[in-house]
């Protein structure tokens, strides 16, 4: 009898120890789980506190210390690479310098061309392009364009002796009229669409075309009002008979790739300030309108 009682007590003791062991193991497992969860939360907190946020486009430019500006460098009086000095000059060159100054950075010009302008923009070869670029819906579909900062339009540049001859598209759209344009830009596009019967000559170097018109290698260049006014002021053999009645009406803007929305906002604010301060008018007078007087006549070369 006593033996049976002893065995029962021993069995009960073993069961109690086993139950106690299981409870301890469960407690340890729960504690370990809580500890692991807390460790994960602490790690996540530390990671979020130390993670470096993605840089905006403006942050990237300021950190780099350089604003990369795309330009074809062939467009007087907007953005032109002076072969004698190796420097870019013109309305847009000064405007780009003003923009860089407000950012506190230097300028690095990146060469592009009119045929490759959009592809180079989308490839991110530069932060923005400013070189006499017309704001169009087609460009805005592919990339970002700023608010317009200068009105422009397509007009005629011809020899002064022919000023009374080329005063309409109908007068130019004839097989005997030689129209010369640079490749890939809106000037060529306009000529192809509106002057299908004229003889179209494509010449690679844009800044050479006015001189070729003046010397008789071509009869007409379709170009922007500001470029026409500039070249008439440089060469009295040339005329721009429709300078104040252009075929189209548009504005110039700054081009940049999508994903640069913060830069676009900054550029638009910058342009608004430049207009309000009178800086845009000052540049326009220096580079464009000083060649044109109030009687629709073009001022002679200086």
Report the CATH number that the domain containing residue 201 is assigned in CATH.
3.40.190.10
- 104 part of a folded domain: yes
| 200 in the same domain as 214 | yes
- 16 part of a folded domain: no
Across the chain, mean pLDDT equals 85
pLDDT in tens, 139-155: 999 999 999 999 989 99
| 115 in the same domain as 234 | no
Cα(185)–Cα(265) distance, integer angstroms: 26
Confidence band of 55 (pLDDT split at 50, 70, 90): confident
- 24 part of a folded domain: no
- 50 part of a folded domain: no
pTM attached to this predicted model: 0.70
Please state the domain count of the chain: 2
| 167 in the same domain as 233 | yes
| 62 in the same domain as 199 | no
Report the interhelical angle of 261-277 vs 279-287 (nearest 10°).
80
Range of the domain at 140: 57-152+250-291
| 65 in the same domain as 129 | yes
| 91 in the same domain as 77 | yes
pLDDT in tens, 220-265: 999 999 899 899 989 999 999 998 899 999 999 999 999 999 999 9
């Amino acid at each position: 009898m006593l033996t049976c009682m002893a065995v029962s007590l021993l069995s009960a003791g073993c069961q109690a120890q086993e139950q106690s062991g299981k409870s301890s193991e469960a407690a340890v497992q729960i504690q370990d789980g809580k500890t692991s969860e807390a460790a994960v939360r602490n790690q996540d907190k530390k990671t979020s506190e130390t993670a470096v946020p993605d840089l905006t486009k403006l942050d990237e430019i300021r950190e780099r210390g350089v604003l990369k500006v795309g330009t074809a460098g062939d467009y007087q009086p907007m953005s032109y690479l002076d072969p004698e000095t190796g420097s870019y000059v013109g309305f847009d060159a000064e405007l780009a310098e003003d923009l860089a100054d407000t950012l506190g950075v230097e300028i690095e010009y990146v060469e592009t061309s009119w045929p490759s302008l959009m592809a180079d923009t989308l490839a991110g070869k530069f932060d923005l392009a400013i070189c006499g670029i017309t704001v169009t819906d087609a460009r805005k579909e592919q990339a970002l364009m700023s608010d317009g900062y200068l009105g422009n339009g397509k007009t005629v540049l011809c020899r002064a002796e022919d000023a009374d001859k080329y005063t309409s598209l109908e007068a130019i759209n004839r097989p005997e009229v030689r129209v010369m344009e640079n490749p890939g830009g809106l000037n060529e596009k306009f000529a192809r669409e509106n002057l299908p019967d004229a003889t179209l000559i494509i010449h690679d170097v844009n800044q050479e075309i006015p001189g070729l018109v003046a010397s008789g290698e071509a009869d007409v260049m379709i170009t922007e009002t500001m470029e026409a006014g500039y070249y008439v002021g440089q060469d009295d053999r040339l005329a721009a008979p429709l300078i104040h009645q252009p075929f189209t009406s548009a504005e110039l803007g700054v081009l940049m790739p999508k994903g640069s929305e913060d830069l676009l906002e900054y550029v638009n604010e910058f342009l608004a300030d430049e207009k309000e301060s009178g800086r845009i008018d000052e540049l326009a007078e220096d580079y464009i309108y000083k060649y044109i007087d109030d009687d629709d006549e073009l001022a002679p070369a200086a």
